[in-house]
Amino acid sequence: MNKNIVVAVDGPVAAGKGTLGRRLAAHFGFAYLDTGALYRATALRLLRDGQALDDIPALLAQAQAVSLKDLDDPGLRAEAVGEAASVISPQPALRAALLDYQRNFATLPPDDAAGAVLDGRDIGTVVCPDADVKIFVTASVEARAKRRHAELVGKGEEVSLAMVASDLAARDARDSERAASPLAAADDAHLLDTTKMDIEAAFQAVRSYVAACMED
C-alpha cells in the first residue's frame, strides 16, 4: 500500500465519475482532483487570450501557468470550454506537461489528507497505475446524454438532446481513439455501470467497494 490511499476514478463524460469522486473524497476525508479541470483550465486560458487550440507552444505555456485558482473558475463549466478541452486533451505534449501535477497531487495530497481521489480518463492506466483502488464508471450514451442535457438546460443553455448525444459520441471517440493515454478501463478496475442507477445508489456502491479495499 502507498503512504497515502490513492483512489482512481475513470470513465467517459457524464457517467457520474465527478460527482462520485467528490463524494468519496468528502466521505473518507481525502483530497479531490478533477483532472479534467486541468485541461479545461488550459483551454479556457487559450480561448480568453484568443490563441489557437493547435498552437502547441501556446498550449504548453498556458498549461504550465494553470494554478489552483484557475481550477475554481466558473467558466470551466461552459460547454464551449468543455469542447475545446476535448480537442486539446489528445495532444501528447500537453498530457505529459500535466502528468507531474497529477502524480504529485496523488503522492502528496494537500492539507495533509490521508489520501487522494483523482477522476479522469486515464488515472488508473497512466497517471496512477499503482493506485490502491481503481474504479471505472460508465453508462450508456443515451443515459449520459439525458443527464448532460438536463444539466445544461438547468444552466439556461438552449440545446437539444440530439445535439448533446452527438457531442458525447464524438467526445467518446476522441477520448478512446487518441494515441496518447486513451480512455480505457484498467485491467484491475472495478466496473460500475450507472445506466439504471441514481447517484445515491451509485455512491453507496462505490463507497462500499472503497471501504472494502481499504480493509484488505
pLDDT digits (tens, 9 = 90+) for 105-144: 999 999 899 999 999 989 999 999 999 999 999 999 999 9
Cβ 7 vs Cβ 24: under 8 Å: yes
**Bridge partners, 161 (sequence order):** none
- Look at residue 3 in the predicted model and tell me its pLDDT: 64
pLDDT digits (tens, 9 = 90+) for 14-39: 899 999 999 999 999 999 999 999 99
Cβ 91 vs Cβ 84: under 8 Å: no
Question: In angstroms, rounded to a whole number, what is the distance separating the alpha carbons of residues 122 and 186?
Answer: 9
Question: In angstroms, rounded to a whole number, what is the distance separating the alpha carbons of residues 206 and 186?
Answer: 16
**DSSP code for 69:** T
Domain extents in the chain: 5-215
Sole residue written with cell 465527478: 18
Question: In angstroms, rounded to a whole number, what is the distance separating the alpha carbons of residues 109 and 32?
Answer: 8
Question: In angstroms, rounded to a whole number, what is the distance separating the alpha carbons of residues 200 and 69?
Answer: 30
Q: For domain 5-215, which CATH number applies: 3.90.480.10, 3.30.2000.10, 3.40.1280.10, 3.40.50.300?
A: 3.40.50.300
pLDDT digits (tens, 9 = 90+) for 67-98: 888 999 999 988 899 889 989 988 999 999 99
